[in-house]
Amino acid sequence: MYRIFSVLSAVCATGLATVTAASAQDYPSRQIDFVVPFVAGGTTDTIARALGQRLSEKLGQPVIVNNRAGAGGAIGTATVAKANPDGHTLLVHTIGFATAPSMQKQSYDPVQDFAPITQIASLPLMLVVHPSVPATNVAQLVALAKEKPGQLDYASAGVGTSPHLAAEMFKQMAGVNLVHIPFKGNADVMNAMLGGHVKVYFSLVPASLQQVKAGGVRALAVTTERRIAAMPDVPTLAELGFTGYEINSWQGLFAPAGTPKNVVAKLNEEAVAILKSRDMHARIENEGADPVGNTPEQFAAFVKAEVTKWDRVIKSAGISAAN
């Protein structure tokens, strides 16, 4: 009986492996849904549509963007977490993928419930101030904030957004008290900045670059590891003494956990090739982002590091979705 059981087990395992390999080889067999957990028209939606169009050409099946906005991205994300892990339902998300569970309990786990495919792009941020602020560098801004604790405000594009998190990490590392004023989006913040209604902002570079050049706001630092080509004279916070300070907003492509590795590998191979193509490179740069395209293992490690880093910042600052 033991020998019979062993033989049957081996046959079943071999059959399962064969089916899995076959399904991966036949992939995709129908339409692929790109779930974007935000409204249409934003940077993430635009990049997802561009990538989806090219991926459709490569794979021979339609790739349709499905905007499932709501609850800060949680609705669309949960939809993909529960989807059949066959590679036909994918998620295009941002830094909020790693931060949302630390601000509010979610029905999914960003590490356990997804199979990272590749990071699509990275978007740098820049610390800018209104010209009325008597600080022409970061040291002067920190000194001013310490001289007037709780009297200097900073804007964000909403609770838990990358500008909000960038400012909170800056506050913690600088040991200053700045008052948070959340807005509904980057455009609203920039209008308030230009009017002098708010004084400090960690802005996505594309949203403030022209205003910096026109003198509407003053750039003090960038949040990237290295200086950016668009503003080579603006230092990084790390080189100004904020050791380890680095934040980029980002977009990434995910599948549900349990998706066959062959399917993930195929999606990664095709997506990375597209991201490295000249036209897609230019398309993403036109959105103010830098194309990435890394391996599933590299992206998984990146996501885990992001979850850990922002969980620490969010809990230390007492940030929640109800703030």
Tell me whether residue 17 is in a domain.
no
Indicate whether 42 and 88 sit together in one domain.
Answer: yes
Indicate whether 296 and 267 sit together in one domain.
Answer: yes
Indicate whether 130 and 199 sit together in one domain.
Answer: yes
Tell me whether residue 23 is in a domain.
no
239 vs 319, residue with greater confidence: 239
Indicate whether 89 and 148 sit together in one domain.
Answer: no
Considering only 13-27, 57-71, 220-234, which range has the smallest mean pLDDT?
Answer: 13-27
Considering only 173-177, 224-228, 235-239, which range has the smallest mean pLDDT?
Answer: 224-228
Tell me whether residue 109 is in a domain.
yes
pLDDT(180) > 80? yes
Indicate whether 276 and 195 sit together in one domain.
Answer: no
Final residue before a domain boundary, out of 240, 262, 288:
240
Tell me whether residue 162 is in a domain.
yes
Tell me whether residue 19 is in a domain.
no
Give percent of the chain with pLDDT exceeding 90.
69
Indicate whether 133 and 205 sit together in one domain.
Answer: yes
For residue 228, what pLDDT is reported? 87
Give percent of the chain with pLDDT exceeding 70.
92
Count the neighbouring beta carbons within 10 Å of the beta carbon of residue 4: 8
Indicate whether 254 and 308 sit together in one domain.
Answer: yes
Q: What are phi and psi of 206, to 5 degrees?
A: -60, -30
* Residues facing 92 on adjacent strands: 253
Indicate the average pLDDT of the chain: 90
For residue 12, what pLDDT is reported? 53
Q: What is the pLDDT of residues 72-86, one digit of tens each?
A: 788 999 999 999 999
> pTM of the full predicted structure?
0.82
Considering only 7-16, 105-114, 233-242, which range has the smallest mean pLDDT?
Answer: 7-16
For residue 86, what pLDDT is reported? 97
Evaluated on CA atoms 175, 181, 186, 187, the torsion sign reads: negative
Read off the pLDDT band of 38 (50, 70, 90): confident
Final residue before a domain boundary, out of 191, 209, 240:
240
Quote the number of domains for the chain: 2
For residue 73, what pLDDT is reported? 87
For residue 97, what pLDDT is reported? 94
Long-range CB contacts (within 8 A, 24+) of 310-315: 310/95, 310/98, 310/99, 310/102, 310/165, 311/102, 313/165, 313/168, 313/169, 313/172, 314/99, 314/102, 314/103, 314/160, 314/165, 314/168, 315/102
Nearby residues of 170 by Cβ (< 8 Å), 6 or more positions away: 127, 176, 202, 237, 242, 245
Final residue before a domain boundary, out of 206, 240, 274:
240
pLDDT(65) > 50? yes
Tell me whether residue 172 is in a domain.
yes
Indicate whether 34 and 87 sit together in one domain.
Answer: yes
pLDDT(3) > 80? no
For residue 22, what pLDDT is reported? 42
Count the neighbouring beta carbons within 10 Å of the beta carbon of residue 67: 18
CATH code for the domain in which residue 303 is found: 3.40.190.150
Indicate whether 179 and 215 sit together in one domain.
Answer: yes
Indicate whether 34 and 50 sit together in one domain.
Answer: yes
**Interval 18-28 mean pLDDT:** 63
Domain ranges, residue 57: 29-123+249-317
- Number of helical (H) and strand (E) elements in the chain, helices listed first: 11, 10
Indicate whether 75 and 93 sit together in one domain.
Answer: yes
For residue 21, what pLDDT is reported? 47
Q: What is the pLDDT of residues 262-320, one digit of tens each?
A: 999 999 999 999 999 999 998 888 877 889 999 999 999 999 999 999 999 999 888 88
- Residue 14 is inside which H or E element, if any? helix 2-25
Indicate whether 35 and 173 sit together in one domain.
Answer: no
Query: Which string of DSSP letters, residue by residue, matches 164-232?
Result: HHHHHHHHHHHT---EEEE-SSHHHHHHHHHTTS--EEEEEHHHHHHHHHHTSSEEEEE-SSS--TTST
Tell me whether residue 16 is in a domain.
no
Beta strands (DSSP E) in the chain are 32-36, 63-67, 89-94, 114-129, 153-156, 179-182, 200-204, 218-222, 248-256, 290-291
- Most confident segment among 3-7, 163-167, 223-227, 265-269: 265-269
For residue 323, what pLDDT is reported? 60
CATH code for the domain in which residue 157 is found: 3.40.190.10
Tell me whether residue 14 is in a domain.
no
